[in-house]
Structure 1
Amino acid sequence: MIDQLKVILQDIFKIKDLGHLRYFLGIEVARPSEGIVLNRRKYALELVLEAGLSAGKPAGTPLELNLKLTSYEFDKKFPLGEKDELLTYPSMFGRTVERLLYLTMSRPDISFAVQTLSQYMQSPKQSHLEAALRVIRYVKKEPTLGLLMSTKSIKELVAFCDSDWASCAVSRKLAPGYCIKMGDSLLSWKSKK
């Protein structure tokens, strides 16, 4: 059926069969026996290199356990002791978070961390940059991690959800997250305040 479709399309349009898909819009497509894996290995390695963390130790988790990030305005109202200064060049933090945000399209494991960091784009502090660099060190641990589109034909739709129950020190809002899977294949995910 695929060959017939190719013949029909060649009659209507000028097309060229390039064989199996390997790269598409920066996404690497691998075909192990389990299914199709979509990842951004090259992009992840470029991100690690650009951040200057090639020789750095990989992190086991995207964010530190019980990390409480706050905005600069919150710190001025409620000084908590240790001074956390604003960044001299906030564009560096912004670029780092933007690049991580692009990576979340194939790495749902960093979605919550990037969502948390993106709240501080307006006036980032040194602690925010350190947290962003930790996410990059986490990505460095397994740059080939991506999405698996399984070959198993399990017709079971499963959804998971979770919430951090208002752990944001500034707004006291919750940040729920969810993921929806069809069998072993992840279809949709989100983490949002």
Structure 2
Amino acid sequence: MLIAGDDLTLIQDTKDKLQQAFKIKDLGPLKFFLGMEFSRSKEGIIMNQRKYAMELISDMGISGAKPASTPLDLNQKLTIKEYDDISGVFGDDELTDKESYQKLIGKLLYLTLTRPDICYGVQTLSQFMQRPKKSHMEAGLRIVRYIKNQPGLGILLSNRKSEHMQAYCDADWGACPNTRKSVTGFLVKHGDSLISWKSKKQSTVSRSSAESEYRSMATTVSEIVWITGLFKELGQKIVLPVHLFCDSKAALQIATNPKDTTRGQNT
């Protein structure tokens, strides 16, 4: 159990009340919780999953393997098709041991709690849980080899007080070769601290890059609304409006002109 607050007296009173009702042991300042490690510095609190990552590398038997520089190969197109219409080449065989692949993806999903850099690769591989192929397993092991580069990489929760929030979003138009759906990616920062991030395939097919970018903005705005509501309940002031950054001029024009119902041209 974690007890957090800005009043040390109230925290101690809470511990005393719990001690009266239950047999508990006070472990002191937070250092390790559910596979996540916490360390303090002059800049703030650093949250990572180094021990969890090292155990994953060991379990996959690649402790001596060469680290990868990127989570996924840029030119590799992962698909569920038996036959590639574009290249005219038959796909690779399905895995006989599907559970090993499913366990690997489950462990990588938990690692995304402190590793935003692998979110895109993990969400891509999680689409093949029912019928994984050898290429999918190889791509999953590549992500583990990428983690081997910096197993202690994590999130810095800055101690600098801030009332400003900003968000960044982007979309990869038609990125999924199986469904031709686009992929949304966003992150939200509170001051210098990264507090929310996601990489997710969109629910519908976008007919232009402007449309996919606009959908990405809409998803990010929904997240911002939820976070600002949570901060309000916690009594934390947030300066409005929240700045949302997007690199699509067409999507920005649609967002700033509600009367414009066009989907925009390919950009």
Provide TM-score, normalisation by structure 1.
Answer: 0.92
Greater RCO, 1 or 2 (C-alpha within 8 Å, sep 6+): 1
Query: Aligned ranges for residues 87-98 of structure 1 at < 5 Å?
Result: 87-98=95-106
Distance 1:144 1:28 in 2: 9
Task: Say if 2:124 is the partner of 1:116.
Answer: yes
Q: CA deviation at 1:7?
A: 4.2
Compared CA separation, residues 162 and 98, structure 1 to 2 (3 A) = same
User: Which of 197, 208, 215 is equivalent to 1:189?
Assistant: 197
| 1:163-191 CA distance string (max 9 Å, x none) | 11112111000011110001110111111
Query: Aligned ranges for residues 17-96 of structure 1 at < 5 Å?
Result: 17-71=26-80, 74-76=81-83, 78=85, 80-96=88-104
| 24-33 or 9-18, which deviates more | 9-18
CA contact (8 A) 2:83 2:91 kept: no
| 86-95 or 5-14, which deviates more | 5-14
Distance 1:10 1:88 in 2: 51
CA contact (8 A) 2:83 2:89 kept: no
Matched residue, 1:179:
187
SS at match of 1:75: coil
> May I ask how many residue pairs the two structures share in their alignment?
191
Distance 2:15 2:100 in 1: 48
User: Which of 172, 176, 187 is equivalent to 1:168?
Assistant: 176
CA contact (8 A) 2:83 2:90 kept: no
Compared CA separation, residues 21 and 80, structure 1 to 2 (3 A) = same
Matched residue, 2:10:
5
Distance 2:74 2:84 in 1: 25
Query: Aligned ranges for residues 130-141 of structure 1 at < 5 Å?
Result: 130-141=138-149
Query: Aligned ranges for residues 144-163 of structure 1 at < 5 Å?
Result: 144-163=152-171
Structure 1: gaps of 5 or more residues: none
Distance 1:36 1:96 in 2: 28
Q: CA deviation at 1:22?
A: 0.7
Name the amino acid aligned to 1:4.
T
Distance 1:80 1:123 in 2: 21
Provide TM-score, normalisation by structure 2.
Answer: 0.67
Distance 1:106 1:125 in 2: 27
Q: CA deviation at 1:153?
A: 2.0
The structure that has the greater radius of gyration is 2
Distance 2:117 2:190 in 1: 18
Q: CA deviation at 1:75?
A: 2.3
Query: What RMSD, in angstroms, separates the aligned Cα atoms of the two structures?
Result: 1.8
Compared CA separation, residues 137 and 13, structure 1 to 2 (3 A) = same
Distance 1:10 1:100 in 2: 35
Name the amino acid aligned to 2:82.
D
